Each structure stands twice: as structure tokens, then as C-alpha cells.
């Protein structure tokens, strides 16, 4: 018997009484119970799952009636129902047992007992439940020693892991995700089963895989998850480009760093300072093209020239294959990958305002995130080198601030519009208008003229004749 938190006790008692009135048993299951033990009896979970031995839809209707709420959604095809009450989503389902066909993760579902329902759970720590009926209110059901696994910080399946993962291969991703979020270890037998069953992930949709992967990316220390994905051979099933980062080549006594582990360190550094999912994806992708651009040059050593440009070109293709969005979020990642080497090139005392203006212009509103990524990219174990690089970036950021204060380039728009160019040159719409705008833009970015309409217009009058000659 446990002491259910006061903020949910009244609701849970109402649910138990509703079940009793229908002669059904009801249990709160899964994440809510797990988080209660993890978070020292104060779960913040707002999505709460309930299993009843009987009709979940019938119980949901009775609960909604007793709670005096009409916000109820019925999913008859799946035998589930959701009751919205305050800021909580209460989901009800009838206990069931499942069987699977080899080529599908969609189960054949039959009515079952609580024990049947717990047997189909993915992990022991997710198979915990409390009874809510008045005669057994708060009694814990823990058939697979999930409490002990929580205490020992172990991820393990309730039954034979090979069968668990064969039935629903997405459970392999979930095992890694929970290990990452909770910083738990995956038990050896479970890990060996994942390694063996990894190719079964091919029957899972990319949408479900990326949903789990993004939860790993957003974990406090995402490198834990990617290291497990690599160890288990899951990563190779959907992200071979990242697998290819791993390894070190040596030639003439010179070695390069392992770019897989470097990438994970950059990702963790980024995660320490930002909750931005897409900035974290930029960290994952920033060196993705290093394997194909790697060369050994005598007298220089290992180089990766152009990996920024090639990596940026790869971003849309990889996003498409993984099921990530192909909108402004993809373009944001692509931009940061393309520009991630640019700030380090500006550390010289003699760096021109023009070079800084061009970086600000190209990065736009992402300039601050770009600098965050660049700082995260410092992964040397030599503390002196780390401090030197950080001081260099301090200087770059100061220079960016000074130039932006003076020239206002970040949200730059050409002070001369197309209509004004056509009127001044007496030309029709066409390539000349674009060429003139580009010339004015370069003059401003190079510091030849100030970023205002008057100087830009005077400059237009100066270059007018050279473009009119082209027209003729």
C-alpha cells in the first residue's frame, strides 16, 4: 500500500468507485507509477494511463459522468477513451493480451487480465501498477521486480527480450531512450538481444523512430543514447552517416581524432546550454561529411577541406530519410552546418569589418546560435587550448557586436528596392535589376558605402551607366 499524492488521490478514488459500480477492476499503470518512485512521490505527469479488466470506453464514460466533465474522446477502433480533466489527460483502456505477425508491429489484440496486460509491457519499470478499487486502493502490482530495477538503475524487459523486441522492434529504441533519459544501464541479456534483433527495426516507420530519437537528442546527456545506439547496432539501421564518423586513421605517425566521439562531445556541450532541438541537430550534423572529405597531405597531415559545404548539402537528404521536417527548421540546421567554420576564421586582430559584416549578413538571426555551436565545438582535452579558443571567440563576438551596432546588418534589407532601380534605370523587370541589387549589397557589406538609402541611391546613380550599357 502506498500513499498516493494528494493532488491526484481524490480523482483516483473517483475512478476506483466508478470501476466498482461497473464491477470492474482498475489500475493506474506505466509512466505515472514509474515516475512516482523516481521523483520521490511527486510525479508531475499530466498524461495518466489506466487499465481496467473490462471495457475501457465504458469506464471512461462513467468517470466523466462522476467528474462532471463532457470532454471525452472515444477511440472505438482501439478500445480506448480519453477524459480531459483540468490539465490532465486520463486515458482508459481495457486489459488485453497481444500476439504479433513477423512482418508487422501491429498486434492482434484480445481481451485479457491485468497479468496479460503487464506481460505485453516493454520494460519492467513500465509494468508497475497500483489498484484503485476501494478494497485495494494503492496496492502495488510489480510482477517483474520493476522497483528493484529502478533502485539498481537497470533497463530490462519483463519477458525474454528477443521475443519482446521481435514482437515490437520499436521497443529497442524505447529501451535506449529510457536508458538515456534516466542514465540507467541496459542489462546484458537485453543489450545482446537488441544487437541481434536490430535489423528488425526495418519494419518500423521512420516517424516512430524519429520520435524516439528526438527524445534521446533532448535528454540531459544525449551522448549516452548515441553511444548505446552505436553499441547496439541500431544507429546503423537508420543513420549510417553518423556511424561512418567513427574510427581513427593513422599515416606517417599522424592520427586524426575520432569524429563520432567528438560529435557526441559537441552535442553534450550544446545540450548543457540550450534546449533548442534544432541547434542540437546542428551539433549532430556539423561534421557529418568529414569521412568523405578526409585527405592526408604530406607536410600538413589530415585535412577535411569542404566538409562544411558538403555537410550542408547532405542535410536535406538526411532530414528527408529520417522523417525530420523539410521546412525552416531544416534550413536553420543547414545554415549552421555551412557556417560553423566561419567564426574561427575571424580571430585575427587584422580581420576586416567587411568579413564580419558578411558573416552577420549570412547568419542573420542565427548568429548567436552559430556562436554557441562554435563554442561547443571546442573539445580539446588541453585546458590551455580550450581557454585560448574561448578567448578568441570572445574577441569575435565583441567584433560582431561592434560592427552590428554600427552597421545594423543582422536583419538587413537592401535600401534600394526593385521598383526604384527600374524607375532610375528606365528598365523592365529582368536580370539587370537583380545584378544592380547584388552590386549595392556588396558595396554595403564591403564598407564602400553606408547602410542607408541616401548613400545607396547616390551609389546607384554612379553605377547606372555601366548597367545601361549591358542593356544596350
Q: What pLDDT digit, counting tens, does each position of 211-231 carry?
A: 999 999 999 999 999 999 999
Q: Taking a C-beta distance cutoff of 8 angstroms, is the pair 198, 172 a contact?
A: yes
Which domains does the chain show, CATH number per domain? 6-149 (3.30.460.10), 153-238 (1.10.110.30), 418-471 (no CATH)
The pLDDT tens digits for 123-161 are 999 999 999 999 999 999 999 999 999 999 999 999 999
Q: Alpha-carbon distance 242 to 47, whole Å?
A: 34
The pLDDT tens digits for 278-330 are 999 999 999 999 999 988 888 788 888 899 999 999 999 999 999 999 999 99
* Axis crossing angle, helix 170-182 with helix 223-231, rounded to the nearest 10: 140
In 281-411, which ranges are E strands? Answer: 295-297, 301-303
Q: Alpha-carbon distance 128 to 333, whole Å?
A: 40
Q: Taking a C-beta distance cutoff of 8 angstroms, is the pair 460, 439 a contact?
A: no
Q: Alpha-carbon distance 204 to 370, whole Å?
A: 34
Q: Taking a C-beta distance cutoff of 8 angstroms, is the pair 287, 307 a contact?
A: yes
**What is the residue-wise DSSP string for 255-318?**
E---HHHHHHHHHHHHHHH---HHHHHHHHHTTTTHHHH-EEETTTEEE-TTHHHHHHHHHHHH
Name residue 154's beta-bridge partners.
Answer: 185
Question: pLDDT band at 178, cuts 50/70/90?
Answer: very high
Q: How many CB atoms lie within 10 A of CB 281?
A: 25
Count how many residues are written for the chain.
472
The pLDDT tens digits for 15-58 are 999 999 999 999 999 889 999 998 754 456 778 999 999 999 99
Does the structure show a pLDDT above 90 at 180?
A: yes
**pLDDT computed for residue 347 by the predictor:** 73
Q: Taking a C-beta distance cutoff of 8 angstroms, is the pair 83, 63 a contact?
A: yes
Amino acid at each position: 500500500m502506498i500513499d498516493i499524492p494528494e493532488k491526484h488521490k481524490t480523482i483516483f478514488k473517483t475512478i476506483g468507485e466508478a470501476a466498482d459500480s461497473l464491477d470492474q477492476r482498475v489500475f493506474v499503470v506505466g509512466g505515472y507509477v514509474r515516475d512516482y518512485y523516481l521523483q520521490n512521490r511527486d510525479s508531475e505527469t499530466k498524461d495518466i494511463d489506466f487499465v481496467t479488466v473490462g471495457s475501457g470506453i465504458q469506464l471512461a464514460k462513467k468517470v466523466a459522468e462522476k467528474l462532471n466533465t463532457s470532454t471525452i474522446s472515444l477511440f472505438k477502433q482501439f478500445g480506448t477513451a480519453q477524459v480531459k480533466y483540468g490539465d490532465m489527460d486520463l486515458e482508459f483502456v481495457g486489459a488485453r493480451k497481444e500476439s504479433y505477425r513477423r512482418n508487422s508491429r501491429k498486434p492482434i489484440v484480445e481481451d485479457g487480465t491485468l497479468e496479460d496486460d503487464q506481460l505485453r509491457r516493454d520494460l519492467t519499470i513500465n509494468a508497475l501498477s497500483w489498484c484503485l478499487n476501494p478494497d485495494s486502493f494503492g496496492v502495488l502490482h510489480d510482477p517483474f521486480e520493476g522497483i528493484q530495477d529502478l533502485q539498481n538503475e537497470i533497463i530490462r524487459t519483463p519477458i525474454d527480450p528477443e521475443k519482446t523486441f521481435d514482437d515490437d522492434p520499436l521497443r529497442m529504441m524505447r529501451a535506449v531512450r529510457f536508458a538515456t533519459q534516466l542514465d540507467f544501464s541496459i542489462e546484458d541479456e537485453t543489450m545482446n538481444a537488441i544487437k541481434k534483433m536490430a535489423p528488425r527495426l526495418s519494419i518500423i516507420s521512420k516517424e516512430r523512430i524519429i520520435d524516439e530519437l528526438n527524445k534521446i537528442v533532448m535528454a540531459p546527456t544525449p551522448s549516452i543514447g548515441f553511444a548505446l545506439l552505436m553499441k547496439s547496432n541500431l544507429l546503423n539501421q537508420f543513420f549510417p552517416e553518423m556511424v561512418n564518423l567513427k574510427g581513427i586513421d593513422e599515416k606517417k605517425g599522424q592520427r586524426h581524432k575520432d569524429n563520432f566521439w567528438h560529435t557526441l562531445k559537441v552535442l553534450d556541450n550544446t545540450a548543457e546550454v540550450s534546449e533548442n532541438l534544432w541547434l542540437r541537430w546542428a551539433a549532430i550534423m556539423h561534421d557529418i561529411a568529414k569521412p568523405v572529405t578526409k585527405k592526408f597531405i604530406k607536410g600538413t597531415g589530415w585535412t577535411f577541406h569542404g566538409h562544411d559545404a558538403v555537410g550542408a548539402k547532405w542535410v536535406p537528404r538526411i532530414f528527408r530519410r529520417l522523417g525530420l521536417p523539410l521546412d525552416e527548421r531544416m534550413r536553420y540546421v543547414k545554415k549552421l552546418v555551412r557556417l560553423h567554420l566561419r567564426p574561427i576564421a575571424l580571430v585575427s586582430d587584422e580581420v576586416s569589418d567587411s568579413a564580419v559584416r558578411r558573416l552577420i549578413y549570412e547568419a542573420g538571426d542565427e548568429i548567436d546560435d552559430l556562436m554557441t555551436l562554435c563554442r561547443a565545438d571546442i573539445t580539446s582535452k588541453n585546458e590551455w587550448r580550450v581557454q585560448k579558443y574561448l578567448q578568441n571567440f570572445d574577441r569575435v563576438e565583441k567584433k560582431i557586436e561592434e560592427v552590428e551596432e554600427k552597421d545594423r546588418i543582422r536583419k538587413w534589407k537592401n535600401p534600394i528596392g526593385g521598383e526604384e532601380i527600374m524607375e532610375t534605370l528606365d528598365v523592365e523587370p529582368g536580370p539587370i535589376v537583380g545584378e544592380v541589387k547584388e552590386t549595392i549589397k556588396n558595396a554595403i557589406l564591403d564598407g564602400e558605402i553606408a547602410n542607408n538609402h541616401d548613400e545607396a541611391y547616390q551609389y546607384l546613380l554612379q553605377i547606372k551607366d555601366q548597367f545601361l550599357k549591358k542593356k544596350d
